[in-house]
Amino acid sequence: MKSIGFIGLGIMGKPMATNLIRAGYRLTVHDINPAPVRELVQLGAVEAGNPAEVARGCEIVITMLPNSPEVRTVMLGENGVLAGTHPGLILIDMSSIAPLTSKEIAEAAQTKGVTMLDAPVSGGEPKAKDGTLSIMVGGEKATLDSVLEVLQSMGKSVVWVGPIGSGNMAKLSNQIVVALNIIAISEAFVLAKKAGVNPRCVYQAIRGGLAASTVMDAKAPLIFDRKFDPGFRIELHLKDLLNAMETAHKLGVPLPFSSLATEVMSALSTAGKGKLDHGGLVQYFEGLAGIKVC
């Protein structure tokens, strides 16, 4: 039985860690917020005082953190994971961060005999809770094979994409597609409403054709019911798009429509709506048109 450390028990990390406990793994946990740590300890986890302590007692360390700076600090900082590491440790960073940061941390880990996977997820809080996340993995295929059962305790789909950083590149690609899907359905439903056509009927009419998508099926009913509780927060999606734009600029790849999506999310965050579910993007277009979809 593998001993696993889990660092980052937020809206995604806590249910993911819970599923590992339910799968029978011995779990050591750490978070700067004591409340979720207490909840996990009540389920059988062991608390660690810092990331280095987590690493000392585990074969695998999983991180689920907000962004690149937090992952860099937890991995490389004082009392970070690499400060307490041992040869043979496997790091699995499941955060959504810049691919170049994943490569930087993996190189530092390699000098200490530690292997790293970047394995960001898609599916939001509901799929984190029921253990059906989509997990995109970058790193050595043999390392993935050795921890596949661990990842399958948290996700329904585990796909190896390529070398380290590839997982996060796949996640950034995913976030571009999701953002532009939500913007497209938002514009379409606002247009239909303004024209006097019921958006719910439009949704039923187009979902059986080429316009159908998982994103539309997931978000349209929530938009119609005005349910904008996350889910996946606009501010987190904005973070992912900013990472995509940064990566694209470094690679010399123009992303004009992703740039527009980034500005829409930035405007909503500035207006105090960053903690809404990203289905709340519809509110930007409703504001422009002076009408609500429902």
Residue 294 domain-assigned (yes or no): no
Looking at 147, 163, 179, the residue that finishes a domain is 163
- Mean pLDDT score of the chain: 96
Domain count, the chain: 2
Residues pairing with 26 in the sheet: 3
150 and 204 belong to one structural domain: no
Mean pLDDT within 115-133 = 94
User: 175: domain CATH number?
Assistant: 1.10.1040.10
Residues 192 and 276 in one domain: yes
Residue closest to 34 by CA, chosen among 4, 14, 52, 5: 14
> What is the full DSSP assignment across 74-97?
HHHSTT-GGGS--TT-EEEE-S--
52: in domain? yes
Q: From CA 103, how far away is CA 156, in angstroms rounded?
A: 26
Compute the distance between CA of residue 146 and CA of residue 12 in angstroms, rounded to an integer.
Answer: 23
Q: Tens of pLDDT along 171-226?
A: 999 999 999 999 999 999 999 999 999 999 999 999 999 999 999 999 999 999 99
Instruction: Give the residue from 163, 193, 228 where a domain finishes.
Output: 163
Per the structure, the complete domain to which residue 213 belongs is given by 169-289
231 preceded by a cis bond (ω within 30 of 0): yes
Beta strand ranges found along 115-219 (DSSP E)? 115-118, 121-122, 133-138, 155-162
Q: Are residues 36 and 155 in the same domain?
A: yes
Structure confidence at residue 76 (pLDDT): 97
Catalytic residue among 103, 127, 171, 273: 171
Say whether both 158 and 25 belong to one domain.
Answer: yes
46, 70: one domain: yes
Q: Give the domain CATH number at 18.
A: 3.40.50.720
Separation CA 105–CA 112 (nearest Å): 11
Please say if 227 is a catalytic residue.
Answer: no
Same domain assignment for residues 123 and 225? no
Q: Looking at residue 279, what DSSP letter applies?
A: G
- Looking at 142, 163, 184, the residue that finishes a domain is 163
Cα maximum dimension of the chain: 65
Distance (Å, rounded) from C-alpha 115 to C-alpha 195? 57
Q: Do both 120 and 21 map to the same domain?
A: yes
Q: Give a yes or no: residue 268 inside a domain.
A: yes
14 contacts 131 by C-beta, under 8 angstroms? no
Specify the pTM: 0.90
- pLDDT tens sequence across 25-57: 999 999 999 999 999 999 999 999 999 999 999
Average pLDDT for residues 156-174, to the nearest whole number?
A: 97
